[in-house]
Amino acid sequence: MKYMLIGEETERLTFRKLEQRDFEEWTELFEEQNVAKFLGLDQSLNASGLCKAWYDKTTNRYANNLGGMNVLIDKKTNRFIGQCGLLVQTIDDEERLEVGYSILPKYWNQGYAFEAAFKCKNYAFENDFANSLVSVVHIENIGSEKVALKNGMTFEKKTEDVFNVFSISKTTWDKK
């Protein structure tokens, strides 16, 4: 599966494919206020419904070679931390490769999102998957915006009135 980081590692994390056994633990993310809005999901669904929608979307990505989120496992504790991956997205009628990340709330502000996003960025450029990468962030999601900026991305544009697109080109990455 192109774009997947299955088996890759960072200092603290290992990457693997999302599995059905992860459902209950991942549902915790959708119990957090604003997560559905930030991820562009149907806010009328309950946490379990949102998680099912997430799984459906992820399964579709896997089946159609559109990238996907990898589960992040803490190497020391073997705990499920969140998800991060490379996603083929259509933004303003243009196909782009996104570095996406979502971390369980109990692990926020511990550097996991940046660590995983940094790995995804490098993996994409090292494997010549794209000449530029984006992260699409809801305008109210300051935490994810900080991760995109720390990952070397800069503001590119606003789309759909509620999402900011941050990007980095491979030529800029090569200089770092």
154-168: pLDDT as tens digits: 999 999 889 999 999
pLDDT single digits (tens) 100-150: 999 999 999 999 999 999 999 999 999 999 999 999 999 999 999 999 999
What is the model's pLDDT at position 125?
96
Per-residue pLDDT band at 1 (split at 50, 70, 90): confident
Per-residue pLDDT band at 176 (split at 50, 70, 90): low
- Give the H or E element holding residue 173: helix 170-174
CA atoms of 21 and 138, how far apart (whole Å): 29
pLDDT single digits (tens) 29-46: 999 999 999 999 999 999
Dihedral angle computed from the Cα positions of residues 49, 116, 100 and 134, in that order, rounded to the nearest 10 degrees: 170
Q: State in Å, rounded, how far the first CA of the chain is from the last one.
A: 28
State if pTM tops 0.75: yes
CA atoms of 54 and 133, how far apart (whole Å): 22
For tokens 């990340």, the residue is 101
Among residues 138, 151, 112, the alpha carbon closest in space to that of 36 is found at: 138
What is the model's pLDDT at position 37?
93
Phi and psi at residue 55, to the nearest 5°: -60, -45
DSSP code, position 45 = S
Kindly give the residue spans of alpha helices, DSSP state H, lying in 14-169.
Answer: 23-27, 35-38, 47-63, 112-126, 142-150
CA atoms of 133 and 64, how far apart (whole Å): 20
All structural domains of the chain, each given as residue ranges with its CATH number in brackets, are 13-174 (3.40.630.30)
CA atoms of 117 and 107, how far apart (whole Å): 15
Cβ-contact 144, 138 below 8 angstroms = yes
